Amino acid sequence: MKKLLLSLITLVSLASLKAQAQGDGISQLLKTAPGDATKLINAYADPLFKGFGTGLNNGWTNTAKTKGLLHFEARISLSGVFVPSSDKSFDVTKLGLNSNIRPVAGSPTITPTIGGSNDMNPATLGIYNDQNVKVDEFKLPGRVTSIVPAPQIQLTVGLIKSTDLTLRYIPKAKLSDNIGSVGMIGFGLKHNLMDDIFGGVGGKLVPFDLAIAAGYTRFNYELPLDVKPSGNRVPDAASTTKTDFSNQRFEGHFSGFNVQAIISKKLLFFTPFAAVGFNTAKTDVGLRGNFPVSNGLATYTVYTDPVNINKNSISNFKVDAGFQLDMAFLKFYASGSLGQYKSVTAGLGIGI
């Protein structure tokens, strides 16, 4: 189950980056030089970064009620984060690319992001020399998906003083040579305020539970790459000492922090809840190793660690609402979230 879920996530979420990170794909992007390649990848994959960060902050809890001492619950859930219309495309002329990189005649300047529309044609960029003669061109990638999935796998244990501790963990695991390796770690706390307010008898005096919760998650992804020099080209004078391409890889580190206030009311086996909070997410991704890029002649130039994107992708307030169904030791969860990116989450759990 875990391997199937993670395979789905990495295949759908990172398929476009993988497609652009092999053979001619990454060479095409790097033809614009590392600075321009970083700008293009950042603009294209921005919805993936925001969506994945948003999803990592979901699924921590579906009730304000805390567990009894040493009671536990294990759950697995999945979020689908929707790319808004404002992030479905970008204008390549607004990225600040080098003046010798621009759309070719007849190409659109507005091009889809990873979450773009099916009916939008990607831009084709030309590379021009100082005499304004086009020496090469390449087409940007198109849409992959407008819904970004993100996993939550966690174990919650009840502590003293109406407090729960939640741990998220996936050991680093290689799914396959084509998909790469994933891993995740996270931790969270939830505290029921009613006992603090009413001295241990809150549940008897008010008809609801009220809690505060916070959680942090870090998801790591690594994909080995194999980009070799094309044709019979040889390294240029500046690259003769950097011809080891065995260390190529794509690395991605996605982290999210979420804090919220939760209110809920248990009605037999059904518990509706609502929450308001603030969440942030950070993205740190890049191409690591030596990458050969043809310069249009009989030689190639080697760039080391050519793409680095490190930024805060999400920082906003959000509102959650949903429910939890308790069926003996089996539990079902579902919720929706309104924020910079809208999302839905559903999952299953077992516990006492």
Cα 114 from Cα 307, distance rounded (Å): 18
pLDDT of residue 2: 34
Q: What residues contact 106, with CB distance under 8 A and at least 6 apart?
A: none
Burial class (CB in 10 A: 0-12, 13-18, 19+), 68: exposed
The one-digit pLDDT tens for each residue of the chain (352 residues) are 333 333 333 434 444 444 444 444 555 666 666 788 889 889 998 998 999 999 999 999 999 999 999 999 999 999 999 999 999 999 999 999 988 889 999 999 999 998 998 889 999 998 887 888 887 788 888 888 899 988 899 999 999 989 999 999 989 888 777 778 889 999 999 999 987 776 655 555 678 899 999 999 999 988 888 888 877 888 888 888 888 998 888 899 999 999 999 999 999 899 999 999 999 999 999 889 998 877 667 888 888 998 899 999 999 999 999 999 999 899 999 999 999 999 999 999 999 8
pLDDT of residue 28: 60
Q: Confirm if 261 and 273 have CB atoms less than 8 A apart.
A: no
Q: Confirm if 271 and 323 have CB atoms less than 8 A apart.
A: yes
| Selection from 42, 141, 73, 32 nearest residue 347 by Cα | 73
Cα 91 from Cα 320, distance rounded (Å): 33
Provide the residue ranges of all domains of the chain, joining segments of one domain with +: 2-351
pLDDT of residue 26: 55
pLDDT of residue 86: 94
pLDDT of residue 65: 92
| Selection from 94, 98, 90 nearest residue 35 by Cα | 98
